[in-house]
Chain A
Amino acid sequence: MEAGRFIVSTSPHIRDPITTRRIMCHVIAALAPVTVYAVVIHGIHAFYVLVSSIAGAMLGELAVQKGRKLPVTLDDCSALLTGLLLALTLPPQLHWWIALIAGLVATVLGKQMFGGLGHNLFNPALVGRAVAFVSWASYMNAGYAKSASIAIANTSTHKLIEKAVDVASGASPLAAMKIIYDPSTSPIGPGGVPHGIQASTYYKPLFLANPWGCLGEVSALLLILGGVYLVAVRIIDWKIPVIYVGTVAVLTSFTGRDPLFYTLAGGLLIGAVFMATDYTTSPLAGRGKVVYALGLGLVTWLLRFWSNNPEGVMFAILFMNGLVPIIDRYILPRTYGTVREARKTGESGEAAAS
């Protein structure tokens, strides 16, 4: 009794329901609260930035795939996520066309030129931001101003910054600190503890409603919750964000600065949770991830305190992205049944790294 023709394929014959699109959607869901809140805090212009950036990213992907006659993969939501992540690293008052171009650059130059999903060396969203950052530096730095909802934040804190810092109003907190600590421009004087402005006065706005930063820097709390969600649904590994942020905090306190302020301020949290954990541009396996995260912390610290640019996260991640192939080649997991034997010559008994 032959029942007909059967499918013949090799095992396994069942699959986990997880798909690329589901993974991307989890990340988008984790970013949703901070995205919505950013529009609430910064107003409708932030929404324009979001739409332009996402449109740019998706158009870039579509154009390349159409042009190369490849299957269009917009339905995997990865271009959408790239555009969203990029927007969250942009200032809320940025011209829409800069956001659009950054989005195009992100997917065309940052992703498709390397061969598309899974092949890019650098985080596409950060490639887009980096290009915008070096091309329209003044716009990128001035775009924090005119925040519609400054009242939500601690008004007295805001006044303090304006008083202490003689720059365009609405400089990001990190830029403010940079100027305060810089002996050549500081109104306080070299080496002195700045009076009138305390890092701790920033804690609350940075945590809850920060009107001075990029879209995604609007609330550290929402970013952390997003990260907890991604770890809980097993989309990301806790190692990279925790070790990265921890390293920055420890090194910052060694430098005599306020570790909590430097953890909450700038792009560190969004970078650690959503950019450094990007699958394609981070190491594959456990120990490599630890090395990568430690490197990120070190480079971020170096850039923040020893370069002209107050915000080191973007370049730290791009730099470490470039090292990932090397990390992945030399820092591999110990294959079952291999190293312990070799170790027996050096160590005795139980291997520590079991």
Chain B
Amino acid sequence: MEKTTTVAGRKIPRFLPRVRGGVHPPDNKQATADKPIRKMGAPELVVLPLRQHLGAPCSPTVGKGDRVLVGTVVGDSEAFVSAPVHSSVSGAVRNIAPHPHPAGGEVLSIFIENDGEGALDPGLSPLDWKNMDENGIRRAVRAAGMVGLGGAAFPTHVKLSPPGQYPIDTVILNGAECEPFLTSDYRLMLECAEEIVEGMRIIMKAVGARRGIVAVEDNKPQALRVMAETIRDPAIELRSLHTRYPQGAEKVLITTLLGREVPSGGLPMHVGVVVNNVGTAQAIARYFRTGLPLVERVVTVTGSVVREPANLLVPLGSSFAAVVESCGGFTEPPAKVIMGGPMMGLAQYTLDVPVIKGTSGILFLSSAEAGYEIPREPVCIRCGRCVQACPMNLIPTYLAAYAHREKWADLERLHVNDCIECGCCTYTCPTRNPIVQLIKAGKAELARRKALVEKRRADKAAADADGGGGNGSR
């Protein structure tokens, strides 16, 4: 059933089963696919939000007026699910104040005035992972402020610390990059394949996995070739995936590659798997090689209104405005600015937001490309396209309708919390229903209501116990 294809003298399996559901939007990667990664000079001011990851936000560890160097910790947290933030420039802390954040709202941020010297923090030094134990690697990865660079920005050290009852047998590196327009992972695979493979070995060691799989979509034959030439370790396999969105979603990837299904509400570790982005692996390897924590990342800057679309190595905290300036500015004003890809990215209302750890791309769309239509009262012709497109086998149109009509019990009955918010349903809907938006709103409201019920129950229990500390407040 599985056929193989020969790339660079090596046989790699291809024609894996395609994603159940999914969609195939035009990939639009041609503008930047052939542009080597270019380093962007640090702007005069960087703004580092203290929340750049999922989990607990950091607290500032520096004060106004302090001098910081490249790699100096400026924010950290005691919480396990959190990652420290480091300065990406050397200079003085000018301000610590709330600032617009690309994920919405305002977040406490460290404003650092760049002195242009780029002086490195003297505490940074390369690390030899081969002589470190698992805990040492995890601690180092945390100290580097490493988070998933695919966009979700989950703290990497948490992923590398599965509890003992869940032995990990396989590490998957996700090189699918199934979002249209984005090419940052593709460029990394072409230019930094060695580091990606080394990162894989570090991750495998940290979680004790015997098997590694690098998975790349078959619309990137160059990346497949380079990876095939680079991987020399027999424990690491290369797989060619069908080009299909959302091939790079963790659960989808695990099912395609291993035939395992992550249980509803569960995590990849529950089926013995850890999934990381190729970019994360590369960043981990570079950190061990140089000692420099996560202070910059590759960002694809593209869209028809950008004068010189590029794959840029951007210091974290650079504003979107500074990024577009280093790409020659605009040919015409953009109608829509998106952080991330067009399927799951976040629309921005200002260019004053900074590049953060999860910024895989910045997309500037013209009004024709944005093709925005004002959502109407949902009409469903029951064509079933969303059902066919849903990789989680949900019934998106019903979920949207139930969310719209506030039928919370029905939402739960149809497993609304298994929605991965990939947006395939909405992409494919002929009547332009805002399906995934309604589902997201429904999920949020359901969670709020459940928390409220829990809180009431806990309060009541506390009152019954006459002042005893309630334990159900989570």
Contact = CB atoms under 8 A, between A and B. Distances in A.
B335 to A, nearest CB: 6
A14 interface: yes
Contact of A14 (B348, B371, B394): B371
Interface string B223-260: 00000000000000000000000000001000100000
B347 A8 contact: yes
A13 B23 contact: no
B347 A9 contact: yes
A286 to B, nearest CB: 8
23 contacts: A1-B329, A4-B333, A6-B350, A7-B336, A7-B372, A10-B436, A11-B346, A12-B342, A12-B423, A13-B342, A16-B430, A20-B430, A23-B383, A117-B379, A284-B397, A335-B393, A335-B394, A335-B415, A335-B418, A336-B20, A336-B262, A337-B264, A338-B418
B315 interface: no
Interface of A: 1-16, 18-20, 22-23, 117-118, 237, 279-280, 282, 284-285, 332-338, 340-341
A255 to B, nearest CB: 33
Given A2-B352, A117-B381, A336-B394, 14 more contacts: A1-B324, A2-B321, A3-B330, A3-B333, A7-B347, A11-B340, A11-B342, A12-B343, A12-B423, A14-B343, A118-B380, A335-B393, A335-B394, A340-B261
Interface in B386-439: 387, 391-395, 397-398, 414-415, 418, 421, 423, 426-432, 434, 436-437
Contacts of B347: 6-11, 13
B338 interface: yes
B259 to A, nearest CB: 8
A116 to B, nearest CB: 8
A18 B414 CA distance: 27
A84 B255 CA distance: 45
Interface in B361-392: 363, 365, 367, 369-373, 379-385, 387, 391-392
A2 B414 CA distance: 44
Contact of A12 (B20, B380, B436): B436
Given A13-B342, A118-B379, A338-B418, A284 B387 contact: yes
B55 interface: no
Interface string B430-452: 11101011001000000000000
Contacts of B124: none
A244 to B, nearest CB: 17
Interface of B: 20, 23, 25, 180, 251, 255, 261-266, 321, 324-325, 329-330, 333-338, 340, 342-352, 363, 365, 367, 369-373, 379-385, 387, 391-395, 397-398, 414-415, 418, 421, 423, 426-432, 434, 436-437, 440
Given A10-B440, A117-B381, A279-B384, A337 B266 contact: yes
A279 B383 CA distance: 5
A1 B330 CA distance: 11
A284 B395 contact: yes
Nearest to B397: A284
Contacts of A6: 334-337, 347-350
A321 B265 CA distance: 35
A256 B429 CA distance: 46
Contact of B418 (A118, A285, A337): A337
A242 to B, nearest CB: 17
Contacts of A118: 379-382, 431
Given A2-B351, A279-B384, A333-B393, A14 B430 contact: no
Nearest to B386: A284
A11 B431 CA distance: 16
Contacts of A11: 338, 340, 342-347, 421, 423, 436
